[in-house]
Amino acid sequence: MSRLEAWSVDGIGEIVAGDDLARIVGDAIAPHAPTEGDVVVVTSKVVSKAEGRMRQAVDREQAITDETVRVVASRAHPGGVTRIVQDRNGFVMAAAGVDASNTPEGTILLLPVDPDASALALATALRDRFQVAIGVVVSDTFGRPWRAGQTDVAIGAAGLRVIEPLAGSVDTHGRPLVVSAAAVADEIASTAELVAGKTSGRPVTIVRGLGRHVLGLGEPGARALVRDADSDMFRLGSAEAHAEGFAAGLAAARSADAPGADGDTPSHAQEDLRPA
């Protein structure tokens, strides 16, 4: 790649439940002459609206609970409690992605139930309409645990390489790369956000120049970017890890003090855990 272009498009308007999103997106990108290898990035908000994922704002906390598979970390603040959780798709994010921005007053939006399936439906329809290979990314905004600010990432993808393993290749000095892998779909999502912004009312972006990453519709989706439990070194927040470690230590001390354990004298560990 020597040149990359990205621009947001007009003509989407306010999306409501039941809208034919593929037709609306197709009409919006048609004047831009979709080309083989284009990637169309669609924000999760419009996908959620079309799929009827809107709820009343008063139900926000319950909605977060319903979308949560695992609580990773939580922190109390004057306005309530911030919860970092894992949802059913494996994404770890604040409030399970439940959001009140870019939605009518008094409402909230939940993430699409299956963003990869949503991306696949869009990619299939757009390829059928324009008869060129188009990739689709469904994007959403995430915070980062070690960095200030937020950036858009891919929560759904179809028809493109979402991650490019570079292990086995060499750098410019001939040294072998061992673990490097480019998160292609995330980089495309963040590129789209730079040109679309949060307040422009343009939730669809065309990214052109990445044709080598646009492949068949059978490619793995964005869920392939989720780190599995065995390789996740940060599955708990600091407070949660402390509580879990304390509980494990207390259980071990009680086990050591139980009848049948070596000796009948309470262990030093148990004595240390008893209140003064």
**Closest among 6, 8, 39 to 156, alpha carbons compared:** 39
Looking at residue 255, its pLDDT comes to: 86
What pLDDT is recorded for position 237?
Answer: 78
Per-residue pLDDT at 12: 93
Strands 135-144 and 39-43: parallel
pLDDT value, residue 117: 98
Position 194 scores a pLDDT of: 95
- Give the residue extent of every domain in the chain: 5-53+111-234, 236-276
**How far is residue 178's CA from residue 217's CA, in Å, rounded to a whole number?**
28
Predicted local distance difference test score (pLDDT) of residue 228: 84
**Which residues in the chain show pLDDT less than 70?**
1, 168, 260-276
CA distance 150 to 96: 15
CATH superfamily of 5-53+111-234: CofE-like (3.30.1330.100)
pTM for this predicted structure: 0.85
Other C-beta atoms closer than 10 Å to the C-beta of 266 total: 14
Q: Give the pLDDT of residue 273.
A: 46
pLDDT of res. 275 = 46
